[in-house]
């Protein structure tokens, strides 16, 4: 899906009043001017200094990640846009039960939507495109579980398998919640320990928790969105053992519920293109931080 993110405006040069001075005065004035320019950091190619956020901005006192880390060359990230806009036309297929290790779950669901009809699946695919662009600019190899090119699905077990087969260094599933009005904010879902059937999350629980903390910190910093007021006890962090996309993963993976599509305040953000760009930047910053610390 094509999209237009906010355009970056090139810095405008400062106007400088022409000075009529003698040649004798020109040299010291020019030197002082150059020193002042350097002190202000306004040289065109000088990158802005990264500002470290307070430790309280992240769950568990972890400082928010900076997006200024180096190249992600050699790193693989799998992005899983939750649901599919075509799922509602394929109820038989998506209602088929699949094995998630400790039980059976539907292949997939239709996802939620705003009261005005903006579907979660459209939101997640747009956000996935924005996130992919940011990560590829950092040098990462990025794979989507689907790109709007399927009539329905894929099933949750296949979504996990795509990340496993790619040997992803990090995988993230993008979602928006469908809770009641008044429930607002975002939360990150991490895998709990599951060792049953074809599922064994024990090796990925710790790195997934670290990935989740970094994504939550980056997302909150970039968007200003608060932690969920209805899940996670105010921490923005939730652990679950009933999601096939997490249970069947063999690589570090988390879900992010970016907001509530049934809450008026969250909907105003989720339906905004510029805000979705901020969301992508926050998630990207968290993934970058995780990959450089791994």
Exposure letters 74-107 (e unless 16+ CB within 10 A, then b): ebbbbbbbbbbbbbbebeeebeeeebbbbeebeb
Which has more pLDDT, 162 or 24? 162
d(CA 246, CA 119): 23
d(CA 62, CA 55): 5
Torsion of CA 130, 152, 242, 254, to 10 degrees: -10
Quick check: helix, strand or coil at residue 268? helix
**Which domains are present in the chain?**
72-293 (3.40.630.40)
pLDDT of residue 294: 82
pLDDT > 70 in the chain, percent:
77
- Tell which residue, 243, 145, 143, has the closest CA to residue 199: 243
pLDDT in tens, 211-220: 999 999 999 9
Token representation of residue 289: 């931080």
pLDDT in tens, 42-71: 333 333 333 333 333 444 444 444 444 479
pLDDT of residue 54: 37
Residues in the chain: 294
Token representation of residue 71: 């190249």
- Tell which residue, 169, 153, 48, has the closest CA to residue 111: 153
pLDDT in tens, 193-233: 999 999 999 999 999 999 999 999 999 999 999 999 999 99
- Of 13-27, 78-92, 112-126, 160-174, give the lowest mean pLDDT range: 13-27
- Tell which residue, 283, 258, 209, 229, has the closest CA to residue 60: 209
Quick check: helix, strand or coil at residue 192? coil
Catalytic residue numbers? Answer: 257
């Amino acid at each position: 899906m094509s999209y237009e993110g906010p355009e970056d405006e090139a810095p405008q040069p400062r106007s400088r009043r022409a000075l009529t001075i003698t040649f004798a005065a020109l040299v010291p004035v020019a030197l002082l001017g150059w020193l002042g320019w350097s002190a202000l950091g306004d040289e065109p190619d000088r990158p802005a200094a990264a500002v470290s956020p307070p430790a309280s901005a992240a769950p568990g006192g972890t400082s928010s990640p900076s997006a200024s880390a180096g190249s992600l060359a050699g790193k693989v990230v799998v992005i899983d846009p939750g649901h599919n806009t075509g799922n509602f036309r394929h109820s038989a297929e998506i209602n088929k039960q699949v094995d998630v290790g400790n039980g059976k779950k539907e292949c997939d669901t239709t996802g939620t939507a705003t009261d005005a009809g903006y579907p979660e699946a459209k939101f997640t695919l747009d956000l996935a495109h924005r996130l992919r662009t940011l990560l590829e600019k950092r040098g990462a190899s990025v794979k989507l579980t689907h790109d709007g090119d399927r009539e329905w699905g894929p099933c949750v077990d296949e979504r996990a398998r795509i990340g496993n087969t790619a040997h992803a260094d990090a995988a993230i599933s993008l979602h928006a919640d469908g809770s009641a009005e008044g429930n607002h904010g975002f939360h990150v879902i991490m895998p709990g320990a599951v060792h049953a059937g074809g599922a064994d999350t024990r090796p990925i629980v710790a790195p997934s928790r670290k990935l989740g903390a970094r994504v939550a910190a980056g997302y909150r910093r970039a968007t200003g969105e608060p932690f969920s007021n209805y899940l996670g006890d105010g921490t923005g962090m939730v652990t679950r053992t009933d999601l096939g996309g997490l249970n069947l993963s063999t690589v570090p993976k988390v879900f992010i519920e970016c907001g509530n599509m049934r809450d008026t305040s969250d909907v105003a953000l989720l339906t905004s293109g510029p805000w979705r760009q901020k969301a992508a930047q926050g998630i990207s910053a968290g993934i970058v931080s995780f990959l450089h610390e791994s």
